[in-house]
A and B are shown apart, each in its own frame.
Chain A
Amino acid sequence: MTGSGVVVFVMRRFAVAVPLLLIISFGVFALVHIAPGDPVRSLLGARASDPATLAAIREHYHLDDPFLIQYFKWLSKVVQGDLGVSILGNRAVTSTIADRLGVTIFLSLMSAVLVLGLGVVLGAVGAFRRGTRLDRAVVMFGVFGISSPAFVTGIFLLYFFGALLHWFPIFGPGTGFLNRAWHLTLPALALAISVMAIVIKITRAAMIEELDRDYVTFARARGLSSRRITFAYVLRNALIPVVTAAGLIVVGIVSGAIYVEVTFSLPGLGALTIDAVQKRDIPTIQGTTLLFSVFVVLVNLATDVIYMLIDPRIRFGRVES
């Protein structure tokens, strides 16, 4: 398969993703109507229900049109980047989201780097020291992390490193890169610990399998350096299953961010969503849900493309023996 083949592959994946996104958008739109009570009431929120306001809402949301027409009118606005107006504060949903996005992206990226970096290193340590106390400690740490929810680990970290030791701030997102990283270390760690077990387990199992392979033995028999064997042979082959799971992990991190933001009172998208749910702010819920869904679809698309790029057996297609 050549460069154009890769393009064809990506296009084909996109073609599958578009209908999926349409279905999701339909579900998100239907939220207004699924929510208990009259949609006008839902959209009214805390405003006074005088007839003029109600009529304005009916007019603004095309509520007198048939359902499908409403959907298409809403969708065409969404495509143009207009997610409607938040019921609270009367701001455009897009600008509320834009305000909050930074913290969530920073938190998720930081924790993804921690999960993948630390997880792969710990998994590799376990595999190389298979059966030793260190190996068992690594596995135990993973099991411990996955069994305690992120908000519990978060509260523990806050108490220990924030309140007792005062190493890290206990609330607020910080400003500027370094200050923000300092502020977000504990939340990112809490988030990372809760999903790291998956990466540790996959890396460890894959590396143990790789260490037993004929080509690793053959590489040793040829006197290659242990660094070359570890990186070009063992790690590179073992990372293929990790990459295939990375999509799942990133999605897990972003959904975990919702709890962690609330725990650490960070003004991120997760906190915004919780807030919106509590206040029945339907346009904001629609906006954040849609954004999360698009993100999940795109992450999966990216995983497929990366998987194809790193495994030549997929890229070239197997020859028939």
Chain B
Amino acid sequence: MNTHVASTGHENPLLRVEGLAISHGAVPITTPLSIAVERGETIAIVGESGSGKSLTARAIAGILPPGINATGTVTLDGISLMGLSETELRKIRGFRVSMLMQDPFTMLNPLMRGGDHIDEMLRGRPEFASRAPRAAEVKRRLAEVGIVEDDVARRMPFQLSGGMCQRVALAAALARDPELLIADEPSTALDVTTQAEIIRLLRRIQRERHMSLILITHNLRLAFSTCERIYVLYAGSLLEVGDAAAVERQPYHPYTLGLLLSEPPADIRVPRLVAIRGSVPQAADVVGRCGFADRCDWAKQICRAGKPPLVARDIGRLTACVRQDEIQCELDALRTAALCAAPATPRRDETEGALVRIDALVKTFDGPRGHPICAVKHVSLRIMPGESVGLVGESGSGKTTLGRCLVGLETPTAGDIRIDGIAAADFGAMAKADRARVRRTIQMIFQDPYSTLNPRHSVGQALSEALRASAGAASASTPERIAALLADVGLSAAYATRRPASLSGGERQRVAIARALAVKPAILVCDEPVSALDVSVQAQVLNLFKRLQAEHGLSYLFITHDLAVVRQIAERIYVLYLGEIVEEGPTERVIDDPQHPYTRRLVESIPRSANQHAP
């Protein structure tokens, strides 16, 4: 097994991980991998779900969940951490290595005030033995993470926003001034604009304290813009290691390139995203061969003959691709080709004959103690037949409420909705025939495909149920029609017998799309349809949406927080902020030249680095 040290030339890195292999009983989770972090250096471990990145982070801090074991060595400043007892490790954790986790809402003790999480970290130190200096120190620590409001320290976690919780948690993690911070997806659970703030904050603190930082992320672009060195982890094995700038300029491994191309660019619209086929395997299923071989266009017999070792190909560059020197030209060519902008979509200016018209829509909910909460305020929008419209906003913007009003899951408080000429504001008040027609015209795709599929029904049952509801239900839901629907979303007819639990996230979303297509709708309302999917799978599903639009002349209302996604799919976008549309227009114009300050803030929060377009 390869235990090559990914060293950068220094003899004594702060953290040296060698041959770290994690397993759950006899089932391997990662193959032996080596990581080195210098003092003051920022590295990223990039990987999709199931790559083992979070467990690697927890193995370094010595807090693996019960039942999961790690072997290998973890050396921090000359001290071997693997052999230490829990008591000795406790003197290392917090003081030398600290960790920040993904979900800000579950990271803090719900029964403890925000400030107490910092306070409890300071109690051991003699200078903070009494209450007053400790309170002053808590205040100073909170100021370091950008919290100047006095009452945050006294508030309970559930009274704080996600961004605030993440800041308090960061201050608590840093309260004993560690030399190394491991941040596990610290921004993923947050809103786009807050994500950018937290990442900026992390970088600032890392620089000011000259602290080492391990950033665990699934977002390659974020890793490039934040870190000096990148470790690409896939199905438990490191596939590529190198300087961030060099990897970004010219990825050596087909997976790194695939991941890079799968992420939709925010600044251009490409004709078709280069998607990686299939989905991420389990580490245990790819023992003894290249984990990526099944999804790789360049895989040959040699790739499956044994686990390719991670070997140096250049100064500070390692790759686990055995065919790298043969295929590098092809990789580079693919990269250049993929970044060509698509021809501009023809502008449509007409507003007559709109498929969907929403006029002055208002939706209020009853809040606590009878205070009404206005989720959507006076929103008007149009969707033309065959047009793809993006609705962009963060959590709390009312974008989901608007989508739910459109398909009749909520009844608007005021305003008018017309779908294909039928007044559809109040589904309860509609004539039965009209309601049936509207329900066949408009269908919805949800964020989490799993919870929208009945786990007891096979894919075929789910689809035949939907087919029976389609127009002219006299025609039976034959296996042929089910197979045709599955083929439409790129799945073979064999999927009809499978149950949702045996499908991957991408496959489930495809089934959900097929089910929506069963009634031959004119428009799909898609609520964050790709945000729960892995990046490599997200591109496949986006391509599917594009193809279906071209083939069926579908309209979309694409509800998302992700500007890069709407750039690829929508011709026109509406920006929703606190229930109001603050900006609307053609996608290129709104993203390239945002007018409203909020849109500008959204655009600025997309992670990007200097050499975005290099080769």
- Among A130, A225, A232, which residue has its beta carbon within 8 angstroms of that of B112? A232
- Alpha-carbon distance between A213 and B111 when the two chains are bound, in angstroms: 13
**A222 at the A/B interface (Cβ < 8 Å)?**
yes
Neighbouring B residues of A317 by C-beta, 8 Å = 368
CB distance from A202 to the nearest CB of B (A): 17
CB of A68 closer than 8 Å to a CB of B: no
Q: How far is the CA of A221 from the CA of B183 in the complex (A)?
A: 11
With A217-B63, A224-B120, A318-B158 already in contact, the answer to whether A237 and B109 are too (CB < 8 A) is yes
A64 at the interface (CB under 8 A from B): no
Q: Is A50 an interface residue when CB atoms closer than 8 A count as contact?
A: no
Answer whether residue A219 sits at the interface, using C-beta atoms and an 8 A cutoff.
Answer: yes
Given contacts A218-B101, A221-B63, A320-B373, contact A313 B92 (CB under 8 A): no
Name which of B2-10, B24-32, B169-177 contacts chain A.
Answer: B169-177
- Given the known interface contacts A318-B158, A321-B395, the answer about A222 and B109 at a Cβ–Cβ threshold of 8 Å is no
Chain A's nearest CB lies how many Å from the CB of B125?
A: 13
- The 0/1 profile, CB within 8 Å of A marked 1, for residues 399-413 of chain B is 000000000000000
Give chain A residues whose Cβ lies under 8 Å from the Cβ of B503: none
- Which residue, A217, A218, A219, A225, has most C-beta atoms of chain B within 10 A? A218
Q: How far, in Å, is A238 (CB) from chain B's closest CB?
A: 11
Distance between Cα atoms of A130 and B396 in the complex (Å): 41
In the complex, are the beta carbons of B173 and A223 less than 8 A apart?
A: no
Name A223's contact: one of B112, B158, B176, B368 (CB within 8 Å). B176
B109: A residues at CB distance < 8 A: 215, 219, 232-233, 236-237
Bound: A310/B110 CA distance, A = 11
For residue B90, CB closer than 8 A to chain A, the reply is yes
B97-115 toward A: CB 8 Å interface, digit per residue (1/0)?
Answer: 0111101001111111000
- A236-B111, A313-B110 given; A220·B121 CB < 8 A: no
Chain B 78-103: CB-based contact to A (< 8 A → 1; otherwise 0): 00000000100111111100111101
**B121 and chain A: residue at smallest CB distance:** A222
Q: Are A223 and B110 in contact (CB under 8 A)?
A: no
Contact at B173–A222, with CB atoms within 8 Å?
yes
Whether the pair A223, B92 counts as a contact (CB closer than 8 A) is: yes
A53 within 8 A of B: no
CA distance in complex: A313, B109 (Å): 12
Interchain CB contact (< 8 A) of B159 among A214, A225, A319: A319
How long is the Cα–Cα vector from A238 to B483 in the complex, in angstroms? 51
Do A224 and B110 touch (CB < 8 A)? Answer: no
Tell me how many residue pairs across A and B have CB atoms closer than 8 Å.
90
Q: Does B156 make an interface contact (CB < 8 A)?
A: yes
Within 8 Å CB of A223, what residues of B?
A: 89-95, 98, 176
A67 within 8 A of B: no
Q: Give the residues from 106 to 137 in chain B that come closer than 8 angstroms, CB to CB, to chain A.
A: 106-112, 120-121
Interface membership of A312, Cβ < 8 A: yes
Are A320 and B368 neighbours in the complex by a CB distance under 8 Å?
A: yes
Q: Is the CB of A214 within 8 A of B103?
A: yes
Query: Is B61 in contact with chain A by the CB < 8 A criterion?
Result: yes
* Bound: A130/B110 CA distance, A: 24
The complex places the Cα of A222 from the Cα of B91 at a distance, in Å, of 10
Nearest CB in chain A: distance from B9 CB, A: 30
A33 interface residue per 8 A CB criterion:
no
Asked if residues B98 and A232 are in contact (CB atoms below 8 Å), the reply is no
A301-321 CB mask vs B (1 if < 8 Å, else 0) is 000000000111100111111
Q: Complex formed: what's the CA distance from A222 to B111 in Å?
A: 18
User: Which residues of the partner chain B approach A318 to less than 8 Å between Cβ atoms?
Assistant: 158
| In contact, A220 and B159 (Cβ under 8 angstroms) | no
- Complexed CA–CA distance, A236 and B368 (Å): 28
A104 to chain B, nearest CB (A): 35
Closest to A236 in B: B111
Check B367 for interface membership: any CB of A closer than 8 A: yes
Cβ of B396 and Cβ of A218 under 8 Å apart?
no
Chain B residues with Cβ below 8 Å from A217 are: 58, 63, 101
Residue A226 lies at the interface, judged by CB distance under 8 Å to chain B = yes
Q: Is B176 touching A222 in the complex (CB atoms < 8 A)?
A: yes
> Residues 405-433 of chain B: 1 if any A CB is under 8 Å from the residue's CB, otherwise 0?
00000000000000000000000000000
A228 within 8 A of B: yes
CB distance from B141 to the nearest CB of A (A): 13
**Nearest chain B CB to A6 CB, angstrom units:** 16
Restricting to B173-198, which residues have a CB under 8 Å from any CB of A?
A: 173, 175-176, 182
Which A residues are closer than 8 A to B by beta carbons? 130, 212-215, 217-226, 228, 232-233, 236-237, 310-313, 316-321
Q: 8 other contacts beyond A214-B106, A221-B61, A313-B158, with CB at 8 A cut-off? A: A130-B66, A213-B106, A221-B99, A223-B90, A226-B90, A310-B111, A313-B156, A321-B396
Query: 9 closest A-B pairs (Cβ-Cβ)?
Result: A223-B94, A223-B93, A221-B99, A214-B106, A222-B94, A218-B107, A215-B109, A223-B90, A312-B156
